[in-house]
């Protein structure tokens, strides 16, 4: 069993209170992770002003070089993990073991973290919209005679992380490039990725006292969000409700992402079936950019049945099977609760589980310690049905018919929308729609992202604010 300490800004810490992580399929212990308290978090946050100044003093070209080295170590190196040394393959296997996400998903998503580490200049360019990276040294940029100046909003950035896909960790990875110290609270079952990223940074030459790895309970997570000047957090609508209006917290929650067929493409729905299936089911359907609804002017029944026929072929497989298409639930009670919620909601008239009729077997499958929810498509007669605008931790989508003239007024909050149309007027309406955050025009699935454009918040504008700055002749300045 691996013993993983907390890392308190350069100081490894082994606590008496530890969380034991078990293999989701065998029940065997995999790791013990030291836990920190709220008072320890408070003390550590209080040390960050100096850490920020030390990080600010490192030239950005040196920090970018560290990122490139860290990318190589993350993917190709053998790195410390508590009292063990793990290769990338070892890391992926442990990650899958404690989260229940198949190894093939873990490997694929961990490589997204590697991409961001290795292409940090591209990512910074996207987040800053082309700002000269040397402005991160000076605090300002002069371009074509125009002054742009920025100042940091915090001495430390806190990230309260989830236990699902390692791909989400790519969102906080640029923090150190923006010269802000980093405090990570890992998800209970997923200490592996944040710990490995920190170890890659350390081996590449990043100062240890600008990074913290602080496993904690729910109260500790709340302390981090309360004490850090800027932070990000992951969770569902209920969990994130207390922070909805807190400008210090960037929320990554339920996405309610959607595919919208225009009037001109509705009759061509058959050629988009592969797109529908990918958008709904990629990565086990657990990302906020997975589509959870398809809105179409017509052919709703046919679309739902065609997707259901594809979904019916997806079967549970062992966690280490490279052909895995769906994720198991490490906690079977979570799968049972979701399944019961869907069945209860189906009692409300106006919706039918089309996959149930096609597959002919239950949605909930239990194999040993593991539970699976088989991909599901529900045909809803109206947008008001309880299942029309739901999102779950498995491949799930509703199919809804709605006239093109009404659809953008009725879809509600949508993190990612794929609007499949060639109608210039409808495209213009979608471009102006205030409830869509990330917009794909044309035959692009909702989960198809580009790293040079952020969604669900911009880390740079979260960590920095723009200010007016004037320099008298002969004067220079730097942060």
Q: Which pLDDT belongs to residue 130?
A: 85
Per-10-residue mean pLDDT, the chain, length 479? 96 95 95 97 95 97 98 98 97 96 95 96 90 90 84 97 87 96 97 98 98 96 96 90 92 93 97 97 91 98 98 93 91 94 97 94 93 97 96 96 97 96 98 96 90 74 90 74
pTM for the structure as a whole:
0.93
In angstroms, the CA 63 to CA 180 distance is 12
Q: Which pLDDT belongs to residue 454?
A: 65
DSSP state of 214: -
Torsion region of 336: left, alpha or beta (phi above 0 gives left; psi -120 to 50 gives alpha): alpha
Using the CB atoms, write b or e for 331-351: b if 16+ within 10 Å. ebeebeebbeebeeebeeeeb
| CATH H-level, domain 257-441: superfamily | Aldehyde Dehydrogenase; Chain A, domain 2 (3.40.309.10)
Structure-token pair, residue 459 = 């880390």
- Are 418 and 440 within 8 A, CB to CB? yes
Which candidate, 163, 133, 168, 170, places its Cα nearest to that of 150? 133
In angstroms, the CA 383 to CA 232 distance is 31
Question: Which residues have CB under 8 Å from 18's CB, separation 6+?
Answer: 32, 33, 34, 35
Q: Which pLDDT belongs to residue 372?
A: 95
User: How many CA atoms, within 13 angstroms, populate the side-chain half-sphere of residue 241?
Assistant: 3
Give backbone dihedrals phi and psi of 239, rounded to 5 degrees, phi first: -65, -40
Say whether domain 2-253+456-467 belongs to CATH 3.60.21.10.
Answer: no
Segments making up each domain of the chain, as ranges: 2-253+456-467, 257-441
């Amino acid at each position: 069993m691996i013993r993983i300490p907390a890392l308190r800004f350069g100081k490894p810490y082994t606590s008496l209170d530890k969380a034991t992580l078990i293999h989701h399929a065998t029940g065997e212990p995999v790791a013990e992770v030291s836990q920190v308290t709220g008072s320890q978090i408070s003390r550590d946050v209080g040390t960050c002003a100096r850490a920020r100044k030390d990080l600010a003093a490192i030239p950005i070209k040196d920090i970018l070089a560290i990122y490139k080295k860290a990318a190589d170590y993350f993917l190709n190196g053998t790195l410390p993990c508590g009292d063990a040394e793990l290769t990338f393959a070892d890391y992926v296997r442990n990650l899958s073991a404690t989260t229940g996400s198949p190894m093939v998903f873990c490997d694929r998503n961990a490589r997204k973290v590697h991409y961001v580490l290795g292409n940090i200049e591209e990512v910074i360019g996207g987040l800053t919209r082309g700002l000269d990276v040397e402005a991160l040294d000076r605090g300002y940029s002069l371009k074509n005679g125009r002054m742009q100046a920025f100042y940091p909003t915090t001495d430390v950035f806190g990230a309260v992380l989830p236990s699902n896909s390692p791909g989400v960790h790519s969102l906080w990875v640029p923090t150190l490039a923006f010269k802000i110290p980093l405090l990570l609270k890992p998800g209970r079952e997923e200490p592996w990725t944040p710990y490995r990223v920190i170890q890659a940074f350390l081996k590449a030459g990043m100062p240890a006292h600008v990074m913290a790895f602080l496993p904690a309970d729910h109260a500790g997570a709340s302390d981090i969000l309360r004490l850090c000047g800027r932070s990000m957090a992951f969770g569902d609508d209920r969990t994130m409700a207390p922070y909805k209006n807190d400008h210090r917290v960037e929320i990554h929650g339920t996405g309610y992402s959607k595919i919208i067929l225009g009037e001109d493409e509705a009759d061509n729905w058959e050629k988009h079936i592969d797109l529908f299936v990918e958008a709904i089911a990629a990565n086990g359907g657990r990302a906020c950019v997975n589509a959870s609804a398809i809105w179409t002017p017509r052919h709703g029944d046919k679309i739902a049945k065609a997707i259901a026929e594809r979904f019916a072929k997806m079967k549970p497989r062992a966690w280490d099977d490279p052909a895995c298409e769906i994720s198991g639930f490490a906690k079977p009670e979570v799968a049972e609760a979701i399944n019961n919620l869907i069945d209860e909601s189906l009692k409300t008239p106006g919706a039918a589980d089309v996959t149930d009729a096609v597959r002919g077997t239950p949605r909930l499958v239990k194999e040993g310690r593991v539970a699976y929810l088989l991909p599901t498509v529900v045909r809803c007669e109206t947008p008001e049905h309880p299942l029309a605008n739901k999102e779950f931790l498995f491949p799930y989508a509703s199919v809804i018919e709605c006239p093109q003239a009404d659809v953008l007024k009725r879809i509600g909050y949508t993190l990612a929308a794929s609007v499949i149309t060639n109608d210039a007027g409808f495209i213009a309406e979608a471009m102006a729609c205030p409830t869509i955050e990330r917009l794909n025009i044309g035959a692009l699935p909702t989960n198809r992202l580009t790293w040079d454009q952020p969604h669900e918040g911009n880390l740079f504008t979260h960590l920095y604010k723009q200010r007016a700055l004037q320099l008298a002749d002969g004067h220079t300045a730097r942060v």
